[in-house]
């Protein structure tokens, strides 16, 4: 279990329901490591400003995280965390490795408006 | 926009900044901690801290979370993950603007902005981040299982992480710019006796090659100028840190490495401005030395505020 203040995704069913029932979803799939923590922090600090987006994290080492780990957009990813942006159930953008708050904001503005 | 006034503003929430916040807020001074990154700074990069006196073994993240809790419980306000959009340290009253929409003033500012990892400075470095370039072995080591990788650097981090990566990867080539290592003798010995590790000394990476993923690097010998191509699946970079002093370099006196110059009381060249932690010129950079700096800066800041209020 990730120790963040974000909502966690704990099963594949939950993942499917979340991306199908919400127009805009951002999911950060990682561990509690130095490359992942800044992304969780950035998401936590942006939750209030982006009320149209649902923010979640997912533990990279859980079996259900295969939905992110093995996603087509993550095929070449070699750095944690894997961060995904979903719109109307479809992954519209994904990033690998550490991202700044500015980069996260920019992606939210570009892909989840 | 109306400014909110504090007795003290601390820029940076690593070990030094958090320590200063604890001391200032416990002294009942109105204290604001402003941080552009994540709470804990470089401290959170350390998974296992075994030499913090009084604590048997813990992680950098856990220490930082406790420090944050202490600072908040003593009354410090914290603005984290914000951007400092304006900074005026020259007058008697200091001014900090964040995110273009909030202004804070203070009698004292403590600069504890730490450092950021030094990059190779090669254009393709950004392109390959997460696609063959990593700055964290414990985070990304799994992706390189059974592969050939390059580790850049010659300090403790480079050699210790290289040895740790040998449990996963097929081979490691350490590329280091000098003819000797800066790491402790124990780390050098561990790296040298590991069969999976080879060394290219006095050399630098000049080019990273690959389409979507890294496939090779060009390495140039600094003495002879001779270049060689090394096939690799990944590059782990540990070449030290550069201080975060860009925002105030025109006002605060820095050395030739852009580190802040202070006296033993952590005072800078500007009245009411103190500096603490890795951002200042010093020999040893440890969590304990940052805590010490933050404490000294805060105690002197308290004295400064009390003297100037009389």
Each residue of A19-55: pLDDT tens digit? 999 999 999 999 988 889 889 989 998 999 999 999 9
> What integer pLDDT is reported at residue A61 of this predicted model?
95
Say if A98 falls within a structural domain: yes
> What integer pLDDT is reported at residue B185 of this predicted model?
93
Residue B273: partners with Cβ closer than 8 Å, 6 or more residues away: B89, B94, B108, B109, B110, B111, B252, B267
Say if A2 falls within a structural domain: no
Reading the block at residue B151, the tokens are 């580790």
Of the listed B139, B179, B246, B263, which one is catalytic? B139
Q: What is the pLDDT of residues A48-85, one digit of tens each?
A: 999 999 999 999 999 999 999 999 999 999 999 999 99
Active site residue B139: yes
Say if A32 falls within a structural domain: yes
Say if A70 falls within a structural domain: yes
Ranges of chain B with pLDDT below 50: none
Chain A residue with the nearest C-alpha to that of B60: A34
> What integer pLDDT is reported at residue A81 of this predicted model?
97
Residue B283: partners with Cβ closer than 8 Å, 6 or more residues away: none
A33 contact B CB<8A:
yes
Say if A1 falls within a structural domain: no
Partner residue opposite A79 with nearest CB, options B40, B81, B140: B140
Peptide bond into A81 cis (omega under 30): yes
Say if A11 falls within a structural domain: yes
| Residue B77, strand partner residues | B32
Tell if the CB–CB gap between A45 and B37 is shorter than 8 Å.
Answer: no
Rounded CA-CA distance B203/B227 in Å is 9
Q: What is the extent of the structural domain holding A86?
A: 7-111
B129 contact A CB<8A:
yes
- Domain count for chain A: 1
Residue A29 sits in a domain whose CATH number is 3.40.30.10
Q: Which of A34, A77, A99, A104 is the best substitution to test chain B (most B C-beta atoms within 10 A)?
A: A34
Compute the count of residue pairs across chains A and B with CB atoms less than 8 Å apart: 70
Q: What is the DSSP letter of A47?
A: T
Chain B residue with the nearest C-alpha to that of A81: B139
> What integer pLDDT is reported at residue B152 of this predicted model?
97
Reading the block at residue B300, the tokens are 């002197």
Maximum Cα–Cα distance for chain B, whole Å?
68
Cβ contact B286:B53 at 8 Å? no
Rounded CA-CA distance B185/B156 in Å is 9
Mapped onto helix, strand or coil, the DSSP state of residue B214 is strand
Tell if the CB–CB gap between A38 and B134 is shorter than 8 Å.
Answer: no
> What integer pLDDT is reported at residue B60 of this predicted model?
87
More confident: B157 or A107? A107
- Tell me which chain B residues have a C-beta less than 8 angstroms from the C-beta of A42: 81
> What integer pLDDT is reported at residue B247 of this predicted model?
95
């Amino acid at each position: 279990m990730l120790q963040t203040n974000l909502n966690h995704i704990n099963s594949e069913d939950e993942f499917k329901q979340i991306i199908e029932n919400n127009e805009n979803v951002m999911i950060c799939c990682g561990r509690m490591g130095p490359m992942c923590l800044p992304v969780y922090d950035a998401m936590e600090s942006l939750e209030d400003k982006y009320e149209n987006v649902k923010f979640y994290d997912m533990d990279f080492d859980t079996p259900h995280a295969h939905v992110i780990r093995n996603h087509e957009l993550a095929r070449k990813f070699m750095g944690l965390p894997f961060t995904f942006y979903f719109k109307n159930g479809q992954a519209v953008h994904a990033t690998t490795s550490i991202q700044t708050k500015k980069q996260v904001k920019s992606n939210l503005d570009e892909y989840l408006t | 926009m109306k400014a909110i006034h504090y007795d003290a503003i601390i820029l940076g929430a690593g070990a030094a900044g958090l320590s200063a916040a604890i001391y200032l807020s416990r002294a009942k001074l109105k204290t604001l901690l402003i941080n552009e990154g994540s709470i804990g700074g470089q401290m959170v990069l350390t998974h296992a801290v075994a030499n913090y006196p009084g604590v048997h073994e813990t992680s950098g993240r856990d220490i930082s979370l406790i420090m944050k809790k202490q600072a908040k419980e003593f009354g410090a306000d914290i603005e984290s993950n914000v951007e400092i959009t304006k900074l005026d340290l020259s007058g008697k009253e200091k001014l900090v603007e964040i995110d273009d929409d909030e202004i804070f003033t203070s009698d004292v500012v403590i600069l504890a902005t730490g450092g950021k990892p030094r990059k190779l400075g090669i254009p393709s470095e950004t392109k390959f981040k997460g696609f063959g370039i990593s700055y964290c072995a414990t985070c990304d080591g799994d992706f390189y299982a059974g592969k050939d990788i390059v580790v850049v650097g010659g300090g403790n981090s480079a050699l210790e992480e290289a040895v740790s990566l040998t449990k996963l990867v097929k081979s490691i080539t350490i590329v280091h710019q000098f003819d000797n290592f800066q790491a402790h003798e124990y780390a050098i010995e561990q790296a040298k006796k590991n069969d999976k590790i080879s060394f290219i000394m006095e050399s630098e990476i000049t080019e990273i090659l690959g389409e979507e993923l890294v496939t090779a690097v060009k390495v140039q010998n600094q003495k002879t100028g001779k270049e060689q191509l090394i096939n690799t699946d990944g590059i782990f970079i540990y070449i030290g840190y550069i201080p975060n002093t860009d925002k105030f370099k025109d006002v605060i006196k820095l050395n030739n490495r852009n580190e802040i110059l202070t006296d033993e009381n952590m005072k800078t060249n500007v009245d009411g401005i103190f500096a603490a932690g890795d951002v200042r010129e010093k020999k040893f950079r440890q969590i304990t030395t940052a805590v010490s700096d933050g404490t000294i800066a805060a105690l002197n800041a308290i004295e400064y505020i009390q003297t100037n209020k009389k």
